[in-house]
Amino acid sequence: MKSEIEVFREFIRKKGLRNTPEREAIIKEIFATHDHFDVDELYLRLKNKKQKISKPSIYRLIPYLLESGLIQEAYFEDGHLHYEHIYGHEHHCHLRCLKCGKIIEFEEKSLKKIEKKLAEKHDFFIKAHKFEALGYCSKCKVNI
Amino acid sequence: MKSEIEVFREFIRKKGLRNTPEREAIIKEIFATHDHFDVDELYLRLKNKKQKISKPSIYRLIPYLLESGLIQEAYFEDGHLHYEHIYGHEHHCHLRCLKCGKIIEFEEKSLKKIEKKLAEKHDFFIKAHKFEALGYCSKCKVNI
DNA sequence: GTATGTGCAAATCATTTGCATTCTC
DNA sequence: GAGAATGCAAATGATTTGCACATAC
């Protein structure tokens, strides 16, 4: 299986764009942890590693990462989008606590079937899906 | 079945807050169409009807509308959140075209079962779920 | 060599806040 | 009458853009 960097290089080449060390550093950092990320946090993680990469470079890269299928928007919270890397990882969905913000990831194969059904019914080519369940976790549900 | 205004009045009373004609006008406008809405668009709709209601009043009302269960966040697009009224309507999910932005709503009962399963497995109290399928509509999929 | 990418600083856009005034209860 | 809510204008915070310089191809 190709690495995420290889996938990106191929994508960039096909689009006639240029690759840079900044872009590869950002991608490596995104794939360095399992967690979701947001722009500011990713910027700080890179900064802590003494990588001088500006926020605009991150913002400018994101549309390409989405288009190449390396990442996906996960959810909108605290006034900004959160992303997750999806290449090479089992697709998963989120269960989010509305009180403490805790997020549990889970896998649900049956969603794939629903996706297929929808594609046929509405004549869509479905690329991805997002399923998010919102509620209160075991700790928070006691005093809603 | 209570009207949305009645539901809101009750919610406001329970919380010890105050109701105002501005709030009721906003709620009426939200429920006046079947469509999703965003703050700016709602503001303009009210303005066109010569209702002088400021954007901050809308922004300040939204958390209460979410809390009372009258509306729900639908999706984040074009740099801002889009909402939908959910009180008195069949719950539905979205199928969105990544190219033209077309949105198809659909109902999927089996998601309710998945929700229940998750609630048991992770000891959550689940209040709502969002399912969004992303892809290309019949027209757009021909030239991706 | 050319055109794309970068960092910086400034601009933009959605949302929030401070405050004086108005209104609900 | 007290405390909330409103509108306005200003502040905030995320994201985008203009531009001069650097660099990938």
Q: At what angle do helices A55-67 and A4-15 cross, to 10 degrees?
A: 90
Q: Which residues pair with B38 in a beta bridge?
A: none
A57 touches strand D (CB under 7 A): no
> What's the pLDDT band for B106 if we cut at 50, 70, 90?
very high
Cα B5 to Cα B24: distance, rounded to the nearest angstrom: 7
A134 three-class SS = strand
pLDDT for B28-57, tens place per residue?
Answer: 999 999 889 999 999 999 999 999 999 999
Specify the DSSP class assigned to residue B124: -
Q: Averaged in consecutive runs of 10 residues, what is the pLDDT profile of chain A (144 residues)?
A: 95 96 98 94 96 97 96 94 92 90 90 94 94 93 78
- Integer distance in angstroms from CA A92 to C1' C11? 38
* Over residues B61-68, mean pLDDT: 97
Q: CB–CB of A125 and B141 under 8 A?
A: yes
What phi, psi does A126 have (nearest 5°)?
A: -95, 125
Q: Is the four-CA dihedral A80, A124, B117, B82 of positive or negative sign?
A: positive
Q: The domain at B93-143 falls in which architecture?
A: 2-Layer Sandwich (3.30)
- Integer distance in angstroms from CA B80 to C1' C22? 31
Which residue's CA lies closest to nucleotide C9 at its C1' atom?
A56
| Contact present, B140 and A141 (Cβ < 8 Å) | no
Cα B144 to Cα B126: distance, rounded to the nearest angstrom: 37
Q: Which residues of B touch A98 (CB under 8 A)?
A: 127
Residue-level pLDDT at B90: 83
Distance from CA of A137 to the nearest CA of B (A): 5
Residue-level pLDDT at A91: 86
**CATH code for the domain defined by B4-85:** 1.10.10.10
Determine the residue of chain A that is closest to B136 in CA distance: A125
Percent of chain B with pLDDT over 90: 84
- Ordered by start, the domain boundaries in chain A are 4-85, 93-143
Cα B99 to Cα B111: distance, rounded to the nearest angstrom: 26
Amino acid (one-letter) located at B31: F
Averaged pLDDT of chain B: 94
Cα A107 to Cα B122: distance, rounded to the nearest angstrom: 13
Return the structure tokens found at A68. Answer: 């190449």
> What's the pLDDT band for B101 if we cut at 50, 70, 90?
confident
| Contact present, B69 and B89 (Cβ < 8 Å) | no
- Pick the range with the lowest mean pLDDT from A27-41, A122-136, B90-104, B119-133: B90-104
